[in-house]
Amino acid sequence: MSTVRTEQQQQEPLDLIRFQLDEFVLVKLRGAREMKGRLQGYDSHCNMVLSEAQEFIYSEGDEEPTVKKTEMVFVRGDSVILISPIAE
Amino acid sequence: MLFFSFFKTLVDQEVTVELKNDIEIKGTLKSVDQYLNLKLDNISCVNESKYPHLQSVKNLFIRGSTVRYVHMSPNSVDCTLLQDASRREAMVQSAK
């Protein structure tokens, strides 16, 4: 592989996440959980740190999810299913 | 290695670790390694009535793979530094 980086560098999936730094994202997690928060950091394992976060826990039978607020949280990447930008 | 360094900056701070089996443990972060295994001192269980088996435990080792979340104080995190470090890590990863 060439070491010369051109303008038309192949984009990687994680580049989408890089553009979301300091923006709000929706993270879908294992165990019927979701986390919305401002993305402060991530790595290639999808470990991440979210601020101003809200966790939504969906349980069978309940219409409304349980919501937990947290100011600053580290999420381990092996629980992550998907990460999506939240349209403002 | 980004989050290894990140957790090293949180050593001696109070954190709450939520495990994948729903147990929440609050304690002082004493050390961390490359697998993000954690050592906590002065621990207490947040949901103790539900999980009373840790009542007499004062410090423990948590295998990194069992962690779901680590909650921390926002004051102990430099957000700009963390964002820049993430971008730098992404550059290094894509150059590989």
Contact (CB<8Å) B65/A43: no
pLDDT reported for residue A43: 95
Query: Is B91 an interface residue toward A (CB < 8 Å)?
Result: no
CATH code for the part of the protein at B2-95? 2.30.30.100
Residue of A42, A77, A4 whose CA lies nearest to B87: A42
Over A3-40, what HEC string results? CCCCCCCCCCHHHHHHCCCCCEEEEEECCCEEEEEEEE
Domain edges within chain B = 2-95
Q: Torsion angle, CA of B49/B51/B55/B60, rounded to 10 degrees?
A: -150
A21: closest CA of chain B, how far (Å): 6
Contact (CB<8Å) B71/A73: yes
- The pTM of this model reads 0.90
At B36, list the tokens: 């993000």
Distance between CA atoms of B66 and B68, rounded to whole angstroms? 7
pLDDT beyond 90 at A1: no
Segment B88-94 mean pLDDT: 89
Segment A50-77 mean pLDDT: 94
Segment B16-43 mean pLDDT: 96
B contacts of A14 (beta carbons < 8 Å): 90, 93
Q: How many CB atoms lie under 10 A from the CB of residue A45?
A: 13
A43: closest CA of chain B, how far (Å): 7
Contact (CB<8Å) A72/B72: yes
Phi, psi of B66 (to 5 degrees): -90, 0
Give A63's pLDDT tier (boundaries 50, 70, 90). Answer: confident
pLDDT in tens, A6-46: 555 668 888 889 999 999 999 999 999 999 999 999 999 99
pLDDT in tens, B40-66: 999 998 887 877 777 788 899 999 999
Q: Which residue has the higher pLDDT, A59 or A11?
A: A59
Distance between CA atoms of A29 and A61, rounded to whole angstroms? 19
pLDDT beyond 70 at B13: yes
Query: What is the predicted ipTM?
Result: 0.92
Contact residues, B window 29-88, toward A, CB-based 8 Å cutoff: 36, 64-65, 67-74, 76-77, 79, 82-83, 85-87
The CATH number fitting domain A25-77, selected from 3.30.70.260, 2.30.30.100, 2.60.40.3880, 1.10.486.10: 2.30.30.100
CA A81 to chain CA centroid, Å, is 9
Share of chain A above pLDDT 70, in %: 88
Please spell the DSSP secondary structure of chain B, one letter per residue.
Answer: -HHHHHHHHTTTSEEEEEETTS-EEEEEEEEE-TT--EEEEEEEETTTTT-GGGTT---EEE-GGGEEEEEE-GGG--HHHHHHHHHHHHHHHHH-
Instruction: Report the residue of chain B nearest A40, measured CA to CA.
Output: B83
